[in-house]
């Protein structure tokens, strides 16, 4: 008989038919006459109840049905009289694929801390919390592709191994096949990367933007969605060494168009989650964050406040707050500053524009004041920066001058500069940190809990 997923069965009203389910046992309870199994197959947060008439089964087999075991059950689907479920299965046959020893199964009891669950990343997907988070992660991925596809953007795959560190977004992880001990050295006594796999130094990418720009300058509107890597030693609840980023890049967009797209995109994703992931959101709302659903709705109902960095700094200086890091024009804003603007001052998402050029990347379009660039960062409650983007410098000589000022390797980046030499065009883009989005949408407090296998300093165990 064909297996039916629990999600489908729970909404079914076709009673009294034989059905076949498979999944993992969340709990078993009962007495010597009747046993109740709560079964979950990951298709939905809820379990289906399987009612077992103990007298009709082999006692030894029933002993194997422990919390955590994997079983298949066949039986009659009936309307449930019990509280908390609408349907249940009255079992006629049971098959045990794999028992789980109740003495050693780590998820035997409920209520483990998230810290403990991080140590058992191989089993934590079997908890309600991580089931909900990973289903939401899937739904958001799908919604991202849908949003862009519906708008006519093309999904461009940019390389993961790159030969350039032009972004300057953070320290990079080297990719090499040279032996760690006694690598070949050149005449200057330095490692000779000409002997390396690619015949040059290569790293894992920190961003797909520069290659994304090449795509946009041909296909008009593209987006990337892939893993990015940053070897910064930032052990915070908002940083990963390996995270996923979505980077749309659009020709003929100025910074205002860029901001409009970013706001529409974030609202679309939040709306998608509310429309399609209600059960999981309600679970997370009840278990972790009573304001989660309210906060999601709030983002939909309010325009994002758009102000310049300079205005933001003035507000922070006048705020009378004591911050851990001082606020001064020219310094990068810390999460505490961003969150003050969003949570206390404006009480809504904020988009800050026109940052000092010295704290932003070389490719951002320079303003006429000679001091600021057309950057835009979207700041969110609880998260701080969720999106970073800008209008790009499309003028060849301004870009080249800026690269020289910043001592960037111009001869290695000839390909990027050539886009401004041949048919240059105004264009803009931004990067959304996928896990930061998920922090917001799930209400989880630590970025390690919204990615299946987090990579952070001193942690890449499995
Ligand atoms: O602001 P960032 O560094 O911008 C870029 O990389 C540009 N190339 C984007 C573009 O214009 N196409 O990173 C973009 C976003 C941040 O706003 C943040 O949400 C996320 O990526 N991010 C991180 N997320 C998790 N862990 C980290 N270490 C992150 N660093 C950045
Ligand atoms: Mg940034």
The DSSP annotation for 77-91 comes to EEE--STT-SEEEEE
CATH label of the domain that carries residue 397: 3.30.930.10
Indicate which residue's Cα is closest to atom 20 of ligand 1: 433
Residue 50 included in any domain: yes
- DSSP secondary structure of 146-185: HHHHHHT-EE----SEES---S-SS---EE--S-SSS--B
Same domain, 41 and 141: no
Sign of CA dihedral 276, 131, 227, 353: positive
Same domain, 136 and 22: no
Non-local (6+) Cβ contacts of 109 within 8 A are none
Separation of CA 244 and ligand 1 centre (Å) = 9
Mean pLDDT along residues 122-133:
97
Q: Which atom of ligand 1 is nearest to the CA of 390?
A: 11
Q: Which atom of ligand 1 is nearest to the CA of 232?
A: 28
Question: With 90 as the cut, is the pLDDT of residue 116 above it?
Answer: yes
Separation of CA 388 and ligand 1 centre (Å) = 6
Structure tokens at 382: 């609880």
Residue 180 included in any domain: no
Same domain, 439 and 338: yes
Same domain, 129 and 41: no
Q: Point out the ligand nearest to the CA of residue 332.
A: 2
φ and ψ at residue 260, rounded to 5 degrees: -60, -45
Same domain, 39 and 145: no
Q: Which atom of ligand 1 is nearest to the CA of 431?
A: 9
Question: With 90 as the cut, is the pLDDT of residue 423 above it?
Answer: yes
Mean pLDDT along residues 364-373:
97
**CA 159 to CA 161: how far, in whole Å?**
6
Question: Does any ligand 1 atom lie closer than 6 A to the CB of residue 213?
Answer: no
Mean pLDDT across the chain: 96
Question: Does any ligand 1 atom lie closer than 6 A to the CB of residue 387?
Answer: yes
User: Following CA atoms 121, 127, 129, 134 in sequence, which dihedral angle do they give, to the nearest 10 degrees?
Assistant: 60
**CA 21 to CA 48: how far, in whole Å?**
9
Separation of CA 198 and ligand 1 centre (Å) = 27
Question: Does any ligand 1 atom lie closer than 6 A to the CB of residue 215?
Answer: no
| Confidence category of residue 82, pLDDT binned at 50, 70, 90 | confident
Q: Point out the ligand nearest to the CA of residue 242.
A: 1
How many separate domains does the chain show? 2
Separation of CA 354 and ligand 2 centre (Å) = 13
Structure tokens at 343: 């949570």
Same domain, 150 and 57: no
Separation of CA 163 and ligand 2 centre (Å) = 22
Question: Does any ligand 1 atom lie closer than 6 A to the CB of residue 230?
Answer: yes
C-beta separation of 217 from 419 below 8 A: yes
Separation of CA 335 and ligand 1 centre (Å) = 14
Same domain, 364 and 225: yes
- At 321-348, the pLDDT tens digits run 999 999 999 999 999 999 999 999 999 9
Q: How many Cβ atoms are within 10 Å of 187's Cβ, its own excluded?
A: 6
Q: Which atom of ligand 1 is nearest to the CA of 212?
A: 12
Helices (H), 160-277: 209-219, 255-276
Structure tokens at 162: 């790159």
Residue 455 included in any domain: no
Q: Give me the pLDDT at residue 166, please.
A: 62
CATH label of the domain that carries residue 44: 2.40.50.140
Q: What is the domain extent for residue 406?
A: 125-171+206-449
Q: Point out the ligand nearest to the CA of residue 258.
A: 1
What order of strands is seen across the sheet that includes strand 202-204? 161-162, 202-204, 174-175
**CA 411 to CA 249: how far, in whole Å?**
24
Separation of CA 414 and ligand 2 centre (Å) = 25
Residue 184 included in any domain: no
Residue 36 included in any domain: yes
Mean pLDDT along residues 244-252:
98
Residue 15 included in any domain: yes
Mean pLDDT along residues 74-99:
92
Residue 65 included in any domain: yes
Separation of CA 360 and ligand 2 centre (Å) = 8
Mean pLDDT along residues 355-373:
97
Q: Point out the ligand nearest to the CA of residue 430.
A: 1
Q: Give me the pLDDT at residue 172, please.
A: 94
Domain boundary among 51, 81, 98: 98
- List C-alpha distances in Å: 447 to 21, 224, 336, 456: 34, 21, 17, 10
Indicate which residue's Cα is closest to atom 6 of ligand 1: 207
Classify the phi-psi angles of 283: left when phi > 0, otherwise alpha if psi is within -120 to 50, otherwise beta.
alpha
Residues above pLDDT 70, as percent of the chain: 99
Question: With 90 as the cut, is the pLDDT of residue 46 above it?
Answer: yes
Q: Which atom of ligand 1 is nearest to the CA of 437?
A: 19
| 3-class state of residue 448 by DSSP | helix
Question: Does any ligand 1 atom lie closer than 6 A to the CB of residue 431?
Answer: yes
Structure tokens at 12: 């079914």
C-beta separation of 232 from 269 below 8 A: no
What order of strands is seen across the sheet that includes strand 154-155? 154-155, 221-229, 242-251, 427-433, 384-391, 372-380, 350-356, 305-308
Question: Does any ligand 1 atom lie closer than 6 A to the CB of residue 210?
Answer: no
**CA 176 to CA 408: how far, in whole Å?**
23
Same domain, 147 and 233: yes
Question: Does any ligand 1 atom lie closer than 6 A to the CB of residue 384?
Answer: no
Q: Point out the ligand nearest to the CA of residue 213.
A: 1
Question: Does any ligand 1 atom lie closer than 6 A to the CB of residue 258?
Answer: no
Separation of CA 445 and ligand 1 centre (Å) = 18
Q: Give me the pLDDT at residue 164, please.
A: 75
| Confidence category of residue 233, pLDDT binned at 50, 70, 90 | confident
| 3-class state of residue 201 by DSSP | coil
- At 165-205, the pLDDT tens digits run 666 667 899 999 999 999 999 999 999 999 999 999 999 99
Domain boundary among 80, 98, 116: 98
For residue 419, give the DSSP letter. Answer: H
Indicate which residue's Cα is closest to atom 21 of ligand 1: 433
Structure tokens at 434: 């996928």
Question: With 80 as the cut, is the pLDDT of residue 242 above it?
Answer: yes
| Choice from 269, 436, 459 to test ligand 1 binding pocket (greatest atom count within 8 A of CB) | 436
Question: Does any ligand 1 atom lie closer than 6 A to the CB of residue 247?
Answer: yes
| Confidence category of residue 110, pLDDT binned at 50, 70, 90 | confident
Same domain, 277 and 332: yes
Question: Does any ligand 1 atom lie closer than 6 A to the CB of residue 167?
Answer: yes
Q: Give me the pLDDT at residue 148, please.
A: 99
| Confidence category of residue 319, pLDDT binned at 50, 70, 90 | very high
Same domain, 331 and 401: yes
Q: Which atom of ligand 1 is nearest to the CA of 169?
A: 3
| 3-class state of residue 196 by DSSP | coil
Same domain, 76 and 140: no
Same domain, 93 and 158: no
Give residue 423's Cα distance to chain centre: 35
Residue 317 included in any domain: yes
Q: Point out the ligand nearest to the CA of residue 364.
A: 1
């Amino acid at each position: 008989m064909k297996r039916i997923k629990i999600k489908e069965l729970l909404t079914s009203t076709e009673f009294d038919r034989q059905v076949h389910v498979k999944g993992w046992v969340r709990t078993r309870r009962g007495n010597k006459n009747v046993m109740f199994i709560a079964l979950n197959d990951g298709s939905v947060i809820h379990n289906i109840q399987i009612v077992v008439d103990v007298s009709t089964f082999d006692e030894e087999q029933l002993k194997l049905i422990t919390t955590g075991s994997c079983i298949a059950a066949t039986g009659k689907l009936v309307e449930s009289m019990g509280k908390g479920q609408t349907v249940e299965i009255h079992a006629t046959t049971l098959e045990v694929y794999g028992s789980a020893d109740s003495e050693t199964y780590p998820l035997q009891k409920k209520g483990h801390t998230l810290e403990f669950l991080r140590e058992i990343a191989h089993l934590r997907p079997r908890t309600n919390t991580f089931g909900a988070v990973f289903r939401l992660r899937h739904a958001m991925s799908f919604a991202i592709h849908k949003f862009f596809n519906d708008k006519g953007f093309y999904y461009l795959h940019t390389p993961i191994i790159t030969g350039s560190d032009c972004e300057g977004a953070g320290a990079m992880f080297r990719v090499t096949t040279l032996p760690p001990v006694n690598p070949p050295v050149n005449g200057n006594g330095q490692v000779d990367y000409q002997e390396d796999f690619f015949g040059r130094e290569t790293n894992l990418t920190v961003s797909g933007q520069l290659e994304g720009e090449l795509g946009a300058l041909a296909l008009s509107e593209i987006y990337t969605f892939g893993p990015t890597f940053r070897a910064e030693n930032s052990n915070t609840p908002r940083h990963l060494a390996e995270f996923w980023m979505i980077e749309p890049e659009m020709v003929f967009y100025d910074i205002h168009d860029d901001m409009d797209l970013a706001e529409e995109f974030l609202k679309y994703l939040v709306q998608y989650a509310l429309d399609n992931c209600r059960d999981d959101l309600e679970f997370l709302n009840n278990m972790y964050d009573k304001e989660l659903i309210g906060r999601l709705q709030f983002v939909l109902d309010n325009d994002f406040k758009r102000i310049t960095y300079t205005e933001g700094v003035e507000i922070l200086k006048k705020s009378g707050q004591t911050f851990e890091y001082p606020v001064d024009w020219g310094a990068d804003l810390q999460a505490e500053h961003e969150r003050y603007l969003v949570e206390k001052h404006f009480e809504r998402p904020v988009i800050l524009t026109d940052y000092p050029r010295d704290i932003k990347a070389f490719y951002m379009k320079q303003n006429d004041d000679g001091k600021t660039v057309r950057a835009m960062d979207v700041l969110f409650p609880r998260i701080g920066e969720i999106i970073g983007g800008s209008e790009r410098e499309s003028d060849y000589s301004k870009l080249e001058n800026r690269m020289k000022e910043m001592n960037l390797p111009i001869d290695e980046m000839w390909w990027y500069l050539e886009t401004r030499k041949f048919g240059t065009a105004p264009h803009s883009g931004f990067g959304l940190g996928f896990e930061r989005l998920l922090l917001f949408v799930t209400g989880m407090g630590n970025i390690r809990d919204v990615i299946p296998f987090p990579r952070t300093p001193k942690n890449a165990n499995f």
